[in-house]
Amino acid sequence: MMGWICACCFAASEKDSCARCDSSGCGDCNHQKALLRVEAEAKAPDLDAEDYGDFLHRFEDTILPAYRQHFENDQRERWKTRLHVVRAMIFSQAMLNYRRDVCGEKGASPANVRYAVALQSFGKLRHEPKGSQIIHVDISEQAQDAPVTIGRGGWARRSAGCAYSYLRLIGVAETRAAKVADLLREAPKGADAEIIRDAYVLDRLHKLAHEDHPSPDVFLQAAAPILKGEFSFLEGKGEHKDAREALISEAGLLIRMTDWEADEGWRKIGRGALARVEGVIDDYDDALPFLAQFYFEDPSHEYVVS
């Protein structure tokens, strides 16, 4: 059985069209596109038992091609979306491994983090005003109550809906699918959500990709306002200060080395997008020692594009 997730309303369906969009004449999908085309599995995957290598094949075979289809076309020329997602995946995995192996933390769920990071950006298919949705309960001058803030904005709610629909289509239990969706919908709380948020905060350093910095200290000073005080990995832990600064510096260097928006070879990549960025880390492991150690620490990283 084949399942589909609509490109604009994120409704899941067993058919290759969306009744909701057919009835309203949605111009985004033009009645033709599905966000993810998912082949239902005979047996639902055990996400907690799925190693990183198994996840990467799902990521490369299904999720990244969907990003390419919907963000890189005649209507949208957002070539960097896949780069942001791929690099966030690398950063999140490195942070997971460091927190587990060096800090001894056991609270994070690798499966929840991987799928949330992978699916987070789908909600950005549409441009939304920044910030959370705010409802004014009483807008009179005599009102004493502060406005009520709901969620993290429209894109986050759509990403959560996409994650839930995708996981349900591949047979993941409803409670697990809802948990991953909540990580994207709600403000970050707990280890999983912190890693997800930090992975994308780090990729903001792409704004510095075309600037030269004479030393790591100068780069870190330039990075501080870009990260906006939101990068929480190892923050306030003096014994891990070097690791925190190493990750920030190497993230900036990796982003500069993979600034491929204008690269025709990158644009043509369907399957193998993550593997190409992994190759940069592997080839320049002397310049990227933190990422080389903690991203590749998991032996199941040995993903080969056939």
Tally DSSP H helices, then E strands, for the chain.
13, 5
pLDDT in tens, 181-203: 999 988 878 899 999 999 999 99
Instruction: State the Cα–Cα distance between residues 257 and 251, nearest whole angstrom.
Output: 10
Helix/strand/coil percent split, the chain, to 5: 55, 5, 40
Phi, psi of 137 (to 5 degrees): -70, -40
Q: Which domain holds residue 283?
A: 2-20+32-298
In a domain, 8, yes or no: yes
Written as six digits, the tokens of 250 are 């190497």
> How many C-beta neighbours within 10 Å does residue 49 have?
8
In a domain, 306, yes or no: no
pTM of the model: 0.84
pLDDT mean over 249-266: 93
pLDDT mean over 138-165: 66
In a domain, 304, yes or no: no
- Secondary structure letter of residue 77 according to DSSP: B
Determine if residue 245 is left, alpha or beta; phi over 0 gives left, psi from -120 to 50 gives alpha, anything else beta: alpha
Mean per-residue pLDDT of the chain: 82
8 A C-beta contact, residue 84 and residue 149: no
Q: What angle do CA 10, 69, 34 make, to 5 degrees?
A: 35
| pLDDT, position 151 | 47
Number of domains forming the structure of the chain: 1
Written as six digits, the tokens of 202 are 């780090």
Residue type, 305: V
In a domain, 219, yes or no: yes
Does 26 score more than 70 pLDDT? no
User: pLDDT category, 152, cuts 50, 70, 90?
Assistant: low
User: pLDDT category, 255, cuts 50, 70, 90?
Assistant: very high
In a domain, 274, yes or no: yes
Which are the contacts of 244, defined by CB distance < 8 A and separation ≥ 6?
A: 233, 234, 235, 237
In a domain, 27, yes or no: no
In a domain, 190, yes or no: yes
| pLDDT, position 49 | 87
pLDDT in tens, 276-303: 999 999 999 999 999 999 998 765 555 4
- Secondary structure letter of residue 204 according to DSSP: G
**Tally of CA atoms within 13 A in the half-sphere of 77 that contains its CB:** 4
Instruction: State the Cα–Cα distance between residues 229 and 64, nearest whole angstrom.
Output: 30
pLDDT in tens, 215-246: 989 999 999 999 999 999 999 999 999 999 99
Written as six digits, the tokens of 108 are 């994070």
In a domain, 305, yes or no: no
